[in-house]
Amino acid sequence: MNASRSPLKSLDDALVALLAHAVALSHVETVSVFEADGRVLAQDITSGLQVPPNDNSSMDGYAVRCADVPQAGELLQVTQRIPAGSTGEAMTPGSAARIFTGAPIPPGADAVVMQEDCEPVGEGSVRVNTVPAVGQWIRRAGEDVMRGTVVLPKGERLTPASLGLAASVGMHQLPVAARPRVALFSTGDELVMPGTVAPQDMKPGAIYNSNRFFLRALLQRLGCEVTDLGIVPDKRDATLDALRAAAEHHDLILTSGGVSVGEEDHIKPAVEALGQLDLWQIAIKPGKPFAYGKIGAAHFMGLPGNPVSSFITFLLLVRPFLLKLQGVSRVATNSIAVPAHFTWARADKRREFLRVRRNAAGGLDLFPNQSSGVLTSAVWGDGVVDNPPGRAIAPGDVVQFIAFSELLS
Ligand code: AMP
Ligand code: MG
């Protein structure tokens, strides 16, 4: 069937079809916890100890036995001093232990009184000016992690907080999925690399290659190892050569531009000559044309050339694919309900991803120009509204917002 006449595919169907091809890469690496931010855990991490290891004080103050302080003003003998990192002795009746945050509670003590509520009296005594409740200011052993619990499951993408949690159970290295190897190139004879021609010397019809910069950065944020093949001319032979080279030793070949069916669009016939290709017209705006195929063992994805289309299709399709290749268990993007503070009267037949920004009043403002070539919208915006087909938006309508912070991490 002629691709230009094939029916539009819904984004959800496209995602299901795409993810069915994303078989997790089997290669696992062991990396230092210092290097593991953003990587995907390849095995469950189970704790061999409890955290914290002992009951300990959450205040600087005095450990006491509540039975010794039935009323405010009791005088106790300070018989020991327990800084963090040391352990105390069993409490004798009528005694208090000077204790500091993080130090283990001595056997027999059942509360900590903060130093602000105590008054040292002479040599080695303290007056306790409140009546303590059993358990107060004590952090319980194992309240964070119990021995034997899975603290971080396989398929979890590591964050700075998860690195800290892994370290808290004694891990200094972690097994993570290998980085996907991605070959990237842009197509288009109009493209010029910034730095090679000054703005005032640009020929008519020439534009700077912007997609290459955000695509490479997006890939790197997702943990990929990128081979950047630069700009490939709009010629069949050059396209074939670039694809052949890219198919070697890469898990994914990612291109931008040239996936329409114009006679200057060489991606489709070239991928078909070397492997298989499905050209999809996805019912989203921006970003209609999208190609998925395979050349040998390498996956192929062709993004549209218009910068915002390229950016959005990457986030909605390529990103979940690359996460699944790394074994991530949850790849769905989360949206939240937020009121629109704008009007969108010209609803499209396609599902739209409108560039918007949260305002201080808790609503969303719309970038005025939603054209697929206007990259300023994606910089001004801090996310998109996922707007169903045919739905007009009036101020106050609750819409589904997807934050870029969610999509770009
Ligand atoms: P194409 O998908 O090749 O038909 O390109 C669609 C539009 O996107 C054209 O206006 C191209 O000039 C523009 N375009 C294609 N690739 C890039 C790129 N790498 N950077 C900026 N604009 C591009
Ligand atoms: Mg082109």
> Looking at residue 342, which CATH number applies to its domain?
2.40.340.10
CB 199 within 8 A of CB 241: no
User: Closest Cα partner for 259 from 239, 237, 229?
Assistant: 239
CATH code of the domain in which 293 resides: 3.40.980.10
- Asked if the structure places residue 269 within a domain, the reply is yes
| C-beta 239 within 6 A of ligand 1 | no
How many Cβ atoms sit within 10 Å of the Cβ of residue 345?
A: 7
Cα dihedral 342→348→351→355 (10° resolution)? -40
Take residue 96 and report the two structure tokens written for it. Answer: 């208090």
Structural domain including 46 reads 28-51+144-177
CB 293 within 8 A of CB 277: yes
C-alpha triplet 60, 62, 65: angle, nearest 5°:
140
Which residue has its alpha carbon closest to ligand 1 atom 23?
Answer: 305
Which residue has its alpha carbon closest to ligand 1 atom 5?
Answer: 305
Give the C-alpha separation, 390 to 273, whole Å: 38
Mark whether 183 and 243 lie in a shared domain: yes
How many Cβ atoms sit within 10 Å of the Cβ of residue 37?
A: 14
| C-beta 287 within 6 A of ligand 1 | no
Tell me which of 114, 139, 164 is where a domain ends. 139
Sign of the alpha-carbon torsion through 328, 185, 203, 236? negative
CB 199 within 8 A of CB 209: no
Distance, CA 189 to ligand 1 centroid (Å)? Answer: 10
- Asked if the structure places residue 34 within a domain, the reply is yes
Which residue has its alpha carbon closest to ligand 1 atom 7?
Answer: 306
- Asked if the structure places residue 64 within a domain, the reply is yes
| Residue type (1 letter), 330 | R
Mark whether 260 and 321 lie in a shared domain: yes
- Asked if the structure places residue 39 within a domain, the reply is yes
Query: What is the domain count for the chain?
Result: 4
Report pLDDT for 3. 46
Phi, psi of 388, rounded to the nearest 5 degrees: -60, 160
Mark whether 311 and 349 lie in a shared domain: no
- Asked if the structure places residue 331 within a domain, the reply is no
| C-beta 306 within 6 A of ligand 1 | yes
Mark whether 213 and 283 lie in a shared domain: yes
CATH code of the domain in which 152 resides: 3.90.105.10
Mark whether 248 and 119 lie in a shared domain: no
Report pLDDT for 2. 46
Distance, CA 266 to ligand 2 centroid (Å)? Answer: 9
Exposed/middle/buried for residue 258 (C-beta within 10 Å: 0-12, 13-18, 19+): buried
Mark whether 131 and 72 lie in a shared domain: yes
Phi, psi of 120, rounded to the nearest 5 degrees: -65, 140
- Asked if the structure places residue 330 within a domain, the reply is no
How many Cβ atoms sit within 10 Å of the Cβ of residue 32?
A: 11
3-class SS of residue 312: helix
Ligand 1, residue 190: give the atom nearest the CA. Answer: 12
Distance, CA 257 to ligand 1 centroid (Å)? Answer: 5
Exposed/middle/buried for residue 67 (C-beta within 10 Å: 0-12, 13-18, 19+): exposed
How many Cβ atoms sit within 10 Å of the Cβ of residue 244?
A: 14
| C-beta 254 within 6 A of ligand 1 | no
| C-beta 260 within 6 A of ligand 1 | yes
- Asked if the structure places residue 342 within a domain, the reply is yes
3-class SS of residue 295: strand
Distance, CA 306 to ligand 1 centroid (Å)? Answer: 5
Distance, CA 239 to ligand 1 centroid (Å)? Answer: 16
Mark whether 362 and 234 lie in a shared domain: no
| Residue type (1 letter), 193 | M
| C-beta 144 within 6 A of ligand 1 | no
Q: How far is CA 203 from CA 188, 199, 398, in A?
A: 15, 9, 46
Mark whether 210 and 313 lie in a shared domain: yes
Mark whether 272 and 402 lie in a shared domain: no
Mark whether 189 and 287 lie in a shared domain: yes
Give the C-alpha separation, 391 to 179, whole Å: 40
CB 299 within 8 A of CB 292: yes
- Asked if the structure places residue 188 within a domain, the reply is yes
Tell me which of 325, 360, 382 is where a domain ends. 325
Mark whether 285 and 306 lie in a shared domain: yes
Ligand 1, residue 259: give the atom nearest the CA. Answer: 2
Tell me which of 117, 139, 161 is where a domain ends. 139
Report pLDDT for 1. 41
User: Mean pLDDT for each consecutive 10-residue tract of the chain (409 residues)?
Assistant: 67 96 96 97 98 97 98 98 97 98 98 98 96 98 97 97 98 98 96 98 98 98 97 95 96 94 89 95 95 97 97 98 95 95 95 98 98 98 97 98 94
H or E element that contains 225: strand 225-232
Mark whether 299 and 367 lie in a shared domain: no
